[in-house]
Chains A and B, each alone.
Chain A
Amino acid sequence: MSSLWPRIEPLLARVEKPGRYIGMEGGRRRPVHGPGRVSWLLVYPDTYEIGLPNQGLQILYEILNERADSVAERAYAPWTDLAAEMRAAGVPFFSVDDHRAARDFDVLAFNLSTELVYTNVLECLDLAGVPLRSADRGLEDPLVVAGGHGAFNPEPMACFVDAFVVGDGEEAAGEVTEVVASWKAAGRRSRDDVLHDLALLPGVYVPSMYDVFYDGPALREVRPRHPDVPAVIDKRTIADLADWPHPSTPLVPLVDVVHDRLNVEVFRGCTRGCRFCQAGMVTRPVRERPEEQVRTMVAGGLRRSGHDEVALTSLSTADFSGIDDVVAGIVDGSTGCGNVSVSLPSLRVDAFTVGIASELQKGRRTGLTFAPEAGTWRMRRVINKMISEEDLHRAVDAAYSQGWRRIKLYFLTGLPTETDTDTLGVAELARDVVAVGRRHTGRATCTVSLGGFVPKAHTPFQWFGQNGVGELRRKIGLVRDALHRSGAQLRWHDPEATFAEGIVSRGDRRIGPVIEAVWRAGGRFQEWSEHFSLPRWLDAMAAEGLDPDWYVTRHRADDEVLPWDHVSAGLHKDFLRQDWHDALAEHGLPDCRWTPCYDCGVCTGYALEHVVGSSVPPAGGSQGTGQDPSRGAVVPVELATVRGAG
């Protein structure tokens, strides 16, 4: 296993941003390979700039390099220019640590963060010289593993991935290592043997151990092929974040990357219950990191990395029990870090949050981002993001009055039951925000970011038929026209990309060949606008005889077998169905951290509990728990299907 560097080096003179292929990050481990170690190549199937900061990958990188029986290196998808050079020169996909060929590793582990990177997984496998389909791999080929949120609907990638790890990877990575180690020690005999053994691990899904049955287009059943293989794969959940203080030595890249700062995860999971949010649904329960450990990780991370910015990460970060103290401690220097700025990437919309944000004023300040997600109170009750207009006004008033000039608002459109009044409410809210800002400064600006809603597996909206391309375009047009000369700028996500994401998001096994066909037609980096093309996806669907509307815009029947029913995030399907009906009735659901359990299934099913430092909900606003989530509209809104990829 020698370094490919001498063969890579001449190619780098001819590509954009060659620095992203050299590795050499601060905090990198010195991989120690050996016959007694299972070697992992952790692959983020997007550019280095996007992939390097990924915390999941950095966590596994540390854990696997600290174990005595494993070693891990990292790889990222080469940009199209380097991929072309590699093919021309016969240079295979490589790690950035020691520039080893991907094929020399025992395990290739992909992080599936979003559906549109799936074609890049095939690109990486092809560059690696590994057969794309699991069925075509032999004894000498690496095992192809995948994890991340994409693993909660594994079916579209089922024919390419040997084994999925569903849920938290911290413990599972070690268990997979042990299975692979014994298989290697026993002479790597049959590939089926190791896959069978992997399928017996909790949280591991091996697609080749399951048969899929259809009734025409409808899915009938996904059934294990062996009696000892579980019919339902339950996600893995680490009980206590305090046991996993990773990454302890964050990677510090030499080139510009996104989120180029120290990131410290303060809690995992979220029970706000936003019905569109897959992350909130599949990462329950809430597990807070002890305040003291957060401080240690911040101080140690800053000292080792030289970063001058730290982000406290989680969903809805202001919900962290110790948030005021931790932020105050970092900003006033008592963590011993000098002049450091703090960012909270996920903020709640209320004055309490702005209070914390104003603490950050003492350090450097950036813009403030809020995510009301929907334009009217009615719509926000449907999605269970219960922010009142008053709260938003108070929050932005506080922000502008304390010197912020730029406020960014995130919204979704194409939500269940959305009417044009709801859509136009986005523009109205934005105009209000600008008006509030102008009371404080003539330079107040507001940026509205509008994304088309893609229903996701394991959410109450998994039954909802996504809006087609034309309908999303029309809605974006409504908002754009309504924002004309408003002082607010609109940015929107391409509805065609939203449609393609919808094909995969709730796709079944038959979508695998579509992904492969898109890749074969040259579709890489599909979340990058310059490389995306919807016709490629539609052509591939047509070639496979699949109807895009059946996958994307069709409302699912309540009793339909869904492609991910054999994967469990712990949520009872009955709970999700009830929450879906509550949504249609505009009925909210409170946060169970501070109110009685409504038994979504996770804590009871997995014998887990919330780990929160405070039993009292945070002060302030309708997103505290003071609101009245009482039933709204008496008559559930009829759902009209809005079809079409055109």
Chain B
Amino acid sequence: MSAPAVSAASTSGTTVPATGEVAEVAGAGDPGDLGEGRVVRIRFAKRGRVRFISHRDVARAFERALRVAGLPVAVTRGFTPHPRIGFGLALAVGHESDAEYLDVGLDRAVEPSSVVEDLAAVLPDGLTPEAAVDLAPGAPALQEAVTSVEYLMVTGVGAEVAAGGVAALLAAGEVEVARSRKGRRSVEDVRPLVRHLSVVGHGEGWSELHAEVATRPRGLRPSELLEALGAVPGPAAGVEFYEGRVLRTRQWMERGGARLEPLEADPRPRAPEVHAS
């Protein structure tokens, strides 16, 4: 858009185009200050081409969809009010999911099923709300409460080698993998994070793995799990487990030994019906 910036554009005030103007997305990745009112928790899928957009992009798409749908989203007080929305664990760019969640603070109660319907009509193709519940007051935020997630991962390694690697990893006492977070590199034992791992499908030169990984003390990325498979001594040692399509299938919250799906974990108790007598 050359017009409005023209007094500067003919000579361009900065060397790098105006990346500084990219808007901050309020609430993206924020566990969420959902306010005092009603909160609806929504499960949605991220499938197809939209898998190439980032967690922040998904957050912004929901914020816009909520506005277009005209839902009564609660906003924070203060100088720069932003919508009270809480997102769960980030999904890596390029991965698909059948189990993404967000919590939305509302100024008044709205039937969860109509939230799903209204959003479905306006969200981009591939971001598909599936179900929603009213959340109990004071329910823990998604990022704090989710304890494990499941993935289906295609890897460019044949079934036999893959099965060997899986068995070796599960049998190992510890599996050290070099990881980097926010620029800091460290070597960590990732074995305790792997709750379940199996080969569930295969073809010529590829196999599909099913994994459940813990999110505490922090999450294990599919790419790190694949790297770990090649790092364990055994039949798959040194093999590069190329990452193919990755689908997150489930997220779980652990409560007293039981695994609960986030929509089932903290539903708002139904108001007792009042009967006139």
Contact of B68 among A53, A114, A257, A303 (CB under 8 A): A303
Is B57's beta carbon under 8 Å from chain A?
Answer: yes
> Would A263 and B1 count as touching, CB distance under 8 A?
yes
Interfacial chain B residues near A550, Cβ < 8 Å? none
User: Nearest chain-B residue to A22 (Cβ)?
Assistant: B49
Interface string of A397-413 (1 = CB under 8 A from B): 00000000000001010
User: Contact: B65 with A306, CB < 8 Å?
Assistant: yes
Contact with A along B45-67 (1 / 0, CB 8 A): 00001101110110011011111
The secondary structure that dominates the A interface is loop
CB atoms of B2 and A265 under 8 A apart: no
Residues of A within 8 A of B122 (CB): 306
A55 B22 Cβ-Cβ under 8 A: no
- How many residues on A have C-beta within 8 angstroms of the other chain's C-beta atoms? 80
Residue among B4, B17, B125 with max Cβ neighbours from chain A (10 Å) = B4
Q: Which of A257, A274, A279, A412 contacts B2 (CB 8 A)?
A: A279
Q: From known contacts A18-B94, A19-B52, A258-B19, infer whether A308 and B67 are also in contact, taking CB-CB under 8 Å.
A: yes
Tell me whether A260 is interfacial, beta carbon within 8 Å. yes
Residues of chain B in range 19-55 having any CB-CB distance to chain A below 8 Å: 19, 21-23, 49-50, 52-54
Nearest-neighbour CB distance to chain A for B157, whole angstroms, equals: 17
Determine if A454 and B50 form an interchain contact, defined as CB atoms under 8 angstroms apart. no
Interface residue A449 (Cβ < 8 Å from any Cβ of B)? yes
Interfacial chain B residues near A256, Cβ < 8 Å: 22-23, 56-57, 60
Identify A306's interface contact among B4, B53, B64, CB under 8 A: B64
**Which one of B7-15, B142-150, B207-215, B266-274 is at the A interface?**
B7-15
Q: For A303, what are the chain B residues with a Cβ–Cβ distance below 8 Å? A: 68
In the assembled complex, which residues on chain B have CB atoms less than 8 Å from the CB atom of A12? 52, 94
Query: Do residues B1 and A55 form an inter-chain contact, with CB atoms below 8 A?
Result: yes
A265-B3 contact given A18-B93, A493-B13, CB 8 Å threshold: yes
**Cβ B64 vs Cβ A24 within 8 A:** no
Given the interface pairs A19-B93, A254-B61, A449-B14, the reply to whether A315 lies near B6 with Cβ below 8 Å is yes
Give the interface segment out of A205-213, A338-346, A574-582, A632-640: A338-346
Q: Check B52 against A261 for contact (C-beta < 8 Å).
A: no
B18 at the interface (CB under 8 A from A): yes
- Indicate if the CB atoms of A19 and B7 lie closer than 8 Å: no
The answer to whether B12 and A451 have CB atoms under 8 Å apart is yes
Query: What CA separation (Å) do A531 and B50 show in the bound complex?
Result: 29
Closest A residue, CB atoms, query B13? A449
Q: Which residues of A contact B94 (CB under 8 A)?
A: 12-13, 18
Is there contact, CB below 8 Å, between A345 and B5?
yes
Q: A278-B10, A454-B10, A528-B16 are in contact. Are A22 and B52 (CB under 8 A)?
A: yes
Find out whether the CB atom of B49 lies under 8 angstroms from the CB atom of A258: no
Contact A148 B1 (CB under 8 A): no
B256 in contact (CB, < 8 A): no
In the assembled complex, A21 has its CB within 8 A of some CB on chain B: yes
Fill in one digit per residue for A276-316: 1 if any B CB lies within 8 Å of its CB, else 0.
Answer: 11111001000000000000000000011111110101111
Q: Give Cα A304 to B69, complex, Å.
A: 10
Asked whether A494 lies within 8 Å of B23 as measured between CB atoms, the reply is no
Contact A24 B23 (CB under 8 A): no
Chain B: interface residue total (CB-CB under 8 A): 48
Q: CB distance B15 to A306 under 8 Å?
A: no
Q: Smallest distance from the beta carbon of B93 to chain A beta carbons, Å?
A: 7
Q: Which residues of chain B come closer than 8 Å to A149, judged between CB atoms?
A: 2
- Known A21-B52, A528-B17; contact A452-B11, beta-carbon cutoff 8 A: yes
- A317 cross-chain contacts in B, Cβ below 8 A: 4
Q: Is the CB of A24 within 8 A of B125?
A: yes
Report A-chain residues with C-beta under 8 Å of the C-beta of B194. Answer: none
A214-257 CB contacts (< 8 Å) to partner B:
252, 254-257
- Residues 55-97 of B contacting A (Cβ, < 8 Å): 56-57, 60-61, 63-68, 75, 79-81, 93-94
Partner of B8, one of A254, A283, A451: A451
* A536: Cβ under 8 A from any B Cβ: no
Residue numbers in A under 8 Å from B64 (CB-CB): 26, 252, 305-307
Task: Give per-residue flags for A26-50: 1 if the beta carbon is below 8 A from chain B beta carbons, else 0.
Answer: 1000000000000000000011011
Q: Does A630 count as interface, using CB distance less than 8 angstroms?
A: no
Complex CA distance for A498 and B10, rounded to whole angstroms: 10
Pick the residue among A306, A452, A532 that contacts B67 (CB under 8 A).
A306
Contact with A527, one of B17, B60, B66, B75 (Cβ below 8 angstroms): B17
Nearest residue (CB) in A for B126 is: A24
* Contact A313–B4 (Cβ < 8 Å): yes
A586 interface residue, CB < 8 Å from B? no
Cα–Cα distance between A316 and B18 once the two chains are bound (Å)? 19
Task: Decide yes or no whether A190 CB sits under 8 A from chain B.
Answer: no
Q: Which of A351-372 contact B (CB under 8 A)?
A: 364-365, 371
CB distance from B85 to the nearest CB of A (A): 13
Q: Which residue of B lies closest to A410 (CB)?
A: B8
Interface assignment of A524: CB less than 8 Å from any CB of chain B: no
A499 within 8 A of B: no
Which A residues lie within 8 Å of B14 (CB)? 449, 491, 493
Tell me if B124 is interfacial: C-beta within 8 Å of chain A: yes
Complex Cα gap A449–B93 (Å): 35
* Contact (Cβ within 8 A) B81 A339: yes
Write the nearest CB–CB distance from A270 to chain B, whole angstroms: 8
In the bound complex, what is the Cα–Cα distance between A497 and B125 (angstroms)? Answer: 41
Q: Is the CB of A258 within 8 A of B21?
A: yes
Q: Contact: A311 with B4, CB < 8 Å?
A: yes
Q: How far is the CA of A47 from the CA of B7 in the complex (A)?
A: 22
B81 contact set on A, CB distance < 8 A: 339, 364
Q: Which residues of A contact B13 (CB under 8 A)?
A: 410, 449-451, 491, 493
Q: Across the interface, which residues of A come within 8 angstroms of B6, CB to CB?
A: 277-280, 315, 346
| Cα distance, A47 to B18, chains bound together (Å) | 12
- Does A258 contact B4, Cβ atoms closer than 8 Å? no
In the complex, chain A residues whose CB is within 8 Å of the CB of B17: 46-47, 49-50, 258, 527-528
Distance in angstroms from A282 CB to nearest chain B CB is 10
From B19, B23, B61, residue with most partner A Cβ within 10 Å: B23
Q: Which residues of B contact A491 (CB under 8 A)?
A: 13-14
Residues of A contacting B49 with CB < 8 Å?
A: 5, 22-24
In the assembled complex, the Cα of A259 lies from the Cα of B5 at a distance in Å of 11
A194 to B126, CA, bound (A): 43
Cβ distance A579 to chain B, nearest Cβ, rounded Å: 17
Chain B residue nearest in CB terms to A408: B13
What are the interface flags for B180-206 relative to A under an 8 Å C-beta threshold, 1 for contact and 0 otherwise? 000000000000000000000000000
> Which residues of the partner chain A approach B80 to less than 8 Å between Cβ atoms?
364-365
The residue in chain A whose Cβ has the minimal distance to the Cβ of B64 is: A306
Q: Once the chains are docked, how many angstroms separate the CA of A46 from the CA of B2?
A: 13
Q: From B7, which residue of chain A is reached at the shortest CB distance?
A: A371
Asked whether B68 lies within 8 Å of A304 as measured between CB atoms, the reply is yes
Q: Which 8 A-B pairs have the closest CB atoms?
A: A306-B64, A451-B11, A449-B13, A279-B6, A345-B4, A19-B53, A18-B52, A529-B15
Tell me the B residues contacting A by CB distance below 8 Å.
1-19, 21-23, 49-50, 52-54, 56-57, 60-61, 63-68, 75, 79-81, 93-94, 122, 124-126, 243
Q: List 5 A-B contacts (CB under 8 A).
A: A18-B94, A278-B6, A278-B10, A315-B7, A364-B79
